[in-house]
Amino acid sequence: MANVVVVGSQWGDEGKGKIVDWLSSRADVVVRFQGGHNAGHTLVVDGITYKLSLLPSGVVRGGKLSVIGNGVVLDPWAFLSEVERIKDQGVLVTPENLMISESASLILPIHSELDGIRENRVDGIKIGTTKRGIGPAYEDKIARRAIRVCDLQDEKHLFSRLQNLLHHHNALRRGLGHPETNVDELHKKLLEIAPKIIPFISPVWKSLDEARQNDKKILFEGAQGAMLDIDHGTYPFVTSSNTIAGQAAAGSGVGPGTLNYILGITKAYTTRVGEGPFPTELEDSVGQRLGERGHEFGTVTGRQRRCGWFDAVMVNQAIITSGISGISLTKLDVLDGMKELKICIAYKLDGKIIKRLPANAAEQARVEPIYESLPGWKGSTRGARSWAELPAEAVKYVRRVEELIGCPVSMVSTSPEREDVILMRDPFKG
């Protein structure tokens, strides 16, 4: 049996939620391996819409084990709030169907406060974060001062760890002109919430190894997209973790040999939320039409997404850095009715033609897209579940995308509905 990793191949918001949900019906275990509650996955199941931020998409499917891996930064209050929210929709989350890695780092109120302080600088410079404390929490993890989930199990040890953490944060807060955080108050808040979190704590790496040995199918669910990767994305306008497929192993505690098939979720056009370079961005009526037809608003932030033509250069780069085996092309139906479509096949940088997105932020901002034009189609692709249902021009578009990105299309999603998928290759069969 193949274990599958699902990653975004653009700047996130590619439609991973639906595809992960579709795949989770075939999986036994679903694992979140990076990010925090800044991610947003929208699932539509039997007409009911679920909006998840931190919980693995498998929670809405009965009989699945969901896992929050060590690579995730966890806000315990946001976690419990999300559990309560989907409970009202009839989904029960218990320690029997969800486990949290004992070594996952916590997001505390000081992290979201610091995020907000930094994003509201008087000089106007910002990264465009969700202000949910993700970045500051990862900073503390790397600096070895983070509070981890396992620390909640020992009251005295927790207090000592908080003292060490606030030694850094209070100095920072003083320097930024903000009041210090009281260690006793923060300790009290964590002790109040700890009994609700502790039952979920588990040595995740061990449980995943047992699942692997018992031939269970494991689905690794990424957040954001490859171009938001801290190392391989459009730095500094990126998230604070590795979003490429290799993080699935490091962020959950399995060996890389466990990752059998990498599925890259790829939107049929391009979108981005927040700040940063966007070579194919359309600030005209075409871009507005894509946004309106695609309902392009962030699941978590509600911010309107920037829209543009498909960027084959960027997606090819993501395919290489993640080792993507096949892509799932989503939102093809949004392109219905457009007379002409364009695909970016290269960039022009300072008079030279290149086929990669430079690492330097200044150069990223200067690249100009070189387009290839394709005819659009008059018919509808919405709801199609076979190639025969697609207009000929839509098939040509998909095939040209394959050629330009150097990777086969394994699936095509034609609506938000879970079963509206054209399947060429089942990822779980390798």
Catalytic residue numbers? 13, 41
Give φ, ψ of 200 to 5 degrees: -90, -10
Q: Give the residue among 249, 318, 246, 307 at the shortest CA–CA distance from 278.
A: 307
Q: Is the dihedral of CA 264, 266, 271, 276 positive or negative?
A: positive
Nearest CA to 106 out of 201, 244, 213, 217 is that of 201
Dist. CA 424–CA 9, nearest whole Å: 19
Q: Residues 342-372, buried b or exposed e (16+ Cβ, 10 A)?
A: bbbbbbebeeeeeeebbeeeeebeebebbee
29 in Cβ contact with 219 (< 8 Å)? yes
Give the DSSP H or E segment for 199.
none
CB 165 within 8 A of CB 145: yes
- Residue 266 tokens read as 């790829």
